[in-house]
Amino acid sequence: MELMGDGARLLNTRQIHEGHGSAGGPSLPATAAGMLPAPRGAEPEGDGRTDAVPALITELPDEETLAMREEAEIAARHRRAADQGDPAAMSALGTLLLRRGDLDGAEPYLRAAVQHGDRAAANNLALLLHQRGYADEAAGWWRIAAVAGSAAAAHALGRHYRERGDEPGAEYWLRQAADAGHALGAYALADLIEHRQEDGAEQWFRLAAEHGHREAAYRLARICADRGENREAEQWYRQSAARRHRRAALRLGTLLEERGETAEAQRWYLTAARDGEARAACALGFLLRDAGDIDQAATWWRRAAQAGDGQAANALGALHAEEGETQTAERWYRTAMEAGDVNGAYNLGLLCAGQGRGTQAEQWYRKAAYAGHREAANALAVLLLQRGDAAGAEPWFSKAAEAGSIDASFNLGILHAGRGENDAARGWYERAAAAGHAEAALQVAIALEREGDHHGAERHLRCAAGGGSPEAAFRLGALLDATRDAGGESADPGGDAAGEEAEEWYERAARQGHRRAQVRLGMRAAKRGDAEHAGHWYRLAAEAGSRNGAFNLGLLLARAGQDAEAAEWWTLAADAGHGRAALRLALLAARRGALAEAQSWCARAIACGPAPVAERAARLRDAVTHELTA
């Protein structure tokens, strides 16, 4: 609700001093201009001319004093004119007194002015009465001013009707103000239309925004963003944020961060955070953390958390948990929970579970799960399943999966597979795989490969391997190898592209510690005659516990004449149940003449198999026995 009339347009003293006042404005007196004649008796400088520049005054009244003096002069001038019956002066004086807060002094002058038909005085009298609590009488004067064409009065009257719940009356008068180009009226009309969920709000938000209304610009930006018109949304966010609209600055920062423009996003987050926007302080903390400035990140998270931002409190909790400060972490998680962030309870559950406090973890998981936290429901189900309570776990898995938890869908697949319910398991695996779960995609691929659908299996293996599954990468390599072998190694006239890709997948799996992939890479290198790389991969696999890796490494060493080290790796393989390694050890012992040892290793080879190895070991055993009894 705005003041109208001359009193609302007093010249600004700072503008006058800076030379930005209007040309027709009142001029300052000589003393205010800062110049006085030279003191009597002072000697002239230079050539003795008497028109030398006068000395500057050393002390001038400050701007506030000048403004007060000027306003007092204007008030006195208006009062003299008003007392002589000038309606315009009455209106101007009443407005000036109203701005000062002198309601008692302003009212008689405004009432006198409205008796002479002054539109501005009617609006300002209504504002005075509204401040006194006489809303109905104020509305009467606003109506008079609005009917006389005052857009400001129409806006005020529209707001009055809306406060009273009379939305049709409010819309009528707000539309009068908006049609006259009144920015506040246009915004209030748009807000009313949007509140009623009717079409047509956007054009009035736009009108108000174009006149510099920062909230209108923000609301218009939200409308554009909801339609996916991010370019125009950004323009309006910028206009609103430039006028210190902190939510607009937050949204602009978010938009820029999503676009990868983190430096500018950080500046807008900082602007909003300094203006008290807790979410911006939280977002700023995450950007600073990603940039490696943990201390500053913690500072902004703390400020946001103290302002009630649960996400920031959770971030502080996680920060302290990583540093092993579990008590401080728990305190911040509780703060987050008290702020209404259900992640706080979930994180408390994770913290307790990590400390082996299963009972407390279950309590926090349940609290979060009952509040709808899907990952807490999944974690609770896992905890129950680990205790052997499959019946209690399944409903929570189902609840989490239906809420969109990919892990819960995968876990339901495991649960059904463990019961032999393969169709149900397959359904849950497929659901998780469709959402990008790598291990679920691997399970679907295994089932498809078993059914002979190699094309479908390959598609799922690629998804799983791309998602980081080393087993999927190994199986994809093996599938490509099998496809190449089925078509003949020379089927590709342009080179062995399938074989090269297979090796790439083997290597990806091998670098993640997949032992069978390491053995497979060693075999391929050995086939090419690259003993160095073959030994590297065999040794990695053997040291990780692969009996095939140990056996193949032994073969490589034996071919190089290093029988002693070869025997060590064969022993490890044989002890792990590798029949061919046991047979090799039996042959080594027989050559040395250690017939009893050879007989023992033959027995091990027969027990471990496979059948061809067992047959050879039996023949060797018989020969050794014959030698011993000869």
Q: What is the DSSP string of 318-353?
A: HHHHHTT-HHHHHHHHHHHHHTT-THHHHHHHHHHH
Mean local confidence (pLDDT), 261-275: 97
Percent of the chain whose pLDDT exceeds 70: 88
Higher pLDDT, 1 or 296: 296
- Does the reported pTM lie above 0.75? no
**How crowded is residue 322: how many other Cβ atoms within 10 Å of its Cβ?**
10
Is pLDDT at 1 greater than 90 in this prediction? no
User: How much is the pLDDT for 625?
Assistant: 87
Identify the CA nearest to 369 among candidates 398, 391, 336. Answer: 398
Query: Which tens digit of pLDDT belongs to each residue from 435-484?
Result: 999 999 999 999 999 999 999 999 999 999 999 999 999 999 999 988 87
| Six-digit token string for 248 | 């607009």
Mean local confidence (pLDDT), 615-628: 89
Is pLDDT at 13 greater than 80 in this prediction? no
Q: Where are the alpha helices (DSSP H) in 133-229?
A: 135-147, 151-163, 167-179, 183-195, 201-210, 214-226
Is pLDDT at 572 greater than 80 in this prediction? yes
User: How much is the pLDDT for 549?
Assistant: 96
- Name the packing angle between helices 151-163 and 119-132 (round to 10°): 30
Mean local confidence (pLDDT), 541-551: 96
Mean local confidence (pLDDT), 421-438: 95
CB 516 within 8 A of CB 506: no
User: How much is the pLDDT for 197?
Assistant: 93
Query: Which tens digit of pLDDT belongs to each residue from 288-330?
Result: 999 999 999 999 999 999 999 999 999 999 999 999 999 999 9
Is pLDDT at 55 greater than 60 in this prediction? no
CB 253 within 8 A of CB 245: no
| Six-digit token string for 376 | 């807490």
- Name the packing angle between helices 214-226 and 183-195 (round to 10°): 40
Using pLDDT thresholds of 50, 70 and 90, give the confidence band for residue 66: confident
